[in-house]
Amino acid sequence: MQPQAADIAVLAQHSLLTDIVNINGQQIVAVGERGHILLSQDGQNWLQSPVPVQANLNGVYFIDKQHGWAVGHDASILATQDGGASWQLQHYAPETDKPLFDVYFADSNSGIAVGAYGLFYRTEDGGETWQKEFHPEVLSEDDQAYLEELKETDPDMYEVEQGAILPHFNRLFADGNVLYMVGEAGFAAKS
């Protein structure tokens, strides 16, 4: 049974919303604290979608009015194929102790999700599988040299540093064929 506007949980009405998208002027989807996902046709009346996690959600992206993804804490990645009415968990890694902040898909198969300390996941199958990537090329030359030295002299510390040396990747923005990624301390990159 689809929830009605009056059925929105009391907590959702007062929770922080962290991202919002307008899908072709037909529907608004907002995500936020405790895994809340809210849908609206008019921006006044909202329905809460059932969600399989209670982790804070930080970013949401739709490639069309049916297919979308939301990302958040515990490296959570959720997907919908029905415009946000229902969501399925595609990735969940609380052991990373890192949040994802944003998600972007170039098409229905190719997407990336980014987050704290350079957390970066890529999919080429619509999110059925997500591969973690490490991108040291965004580091300064000194930091790259430091990592290379650690890799040879202290492999355990190298693993630790891989999870902490990169800046937070906060947002993704596509402009034609160029994808921009911005983060903490003035970090900006383009691909």
20 — pLDDT class (breaks 50, 70, 90): very high
- Rounded Cα gap, residues 50 and 36, in angstroms: 8
Predicted confidence (pLDDT) per residue in 25-51, tens digit: 899 999 999 999 999 999 888 899 999
Q: In this predicted model, what pLDDT tens digit does every residue of 121-131 receive, in sequence order?
A: 999 999 999 99
Note whether 100 and 115 are within 8 A (CB): yes
Name the region of 20 (left: φ>0; alpha: ψ -120 to 50; beta: rest): beta
**The residue type at 80:** T
pLDDT band at 5 (very low <50, low <70, confident <90, very high): very low
Query: Is 69 in contact with 37 (CB distance < 8 Å)?
Result: no
Whether residue 24 is contained in a domain is answered as yes
Higher pLDDT pick, 20 / 13: 20
CB contact at 8 A, 72 and 58: yes
pLDDT (average), residues 58-80: 97
- How many structural domains are present in the chain? 1
Residue 159 lies in a domain: no
pLDDT given for residue 22 in this prediction: 95
- Is residue 66 classed as helix, strand or coil in its secondary structure? coil
> Coil, strand or helix: which one is 88?
strand
CA pair distance 29, 22, nearest whole angstrom: 7
Name the DSSP letter for residue 26.
T
Q: How far apart are CA 101 and CA 45, in angstroms?
A: 26
Residue 151 falls inside a structural domain: no
154 domain residue, yes or no = no
Q: Residue 160: inside a domain, yes or no?
A: no
14 domain-assigned: yes
Q: Which element (helix H / strand E) includes 178?
A: strand 178-183
Whole-number pLDDT of residue 43: 87
pLDDT digits (tens, 9 = 90+) for 156-165: 999 999 889 9
Domain at 181, CATH number: 2.120.10.30
Q: Residue 90 domain-assigned?
A: yes
Among 24, 132, 34, smallest CA distance to 68 is for 24
The reported pLDDT for the residue numbered 48 is: 93
What is the domain range of residue 90? 5-134+166-190
- The pLDDT score that the predictor gives to residue 4 is 44
The residue length of the chain stands at 191
Q: Hunting for tokens 């037909």 — which residue is that?
A: 26
Which DSSP helix (H) or strand (E) runs through 152? Answer: helix 141-153
Asked if residue 52 is part of any domain, the answer here is: yes
Distance CA 183, CA 2 (A): 37
Listed in sequence order, the residues at least 6 apart from 155 whose beta carbon sits closer than 8 Å to its beta carbon are: none
Q: So what's the pLDDT on residue 95?
A: 94
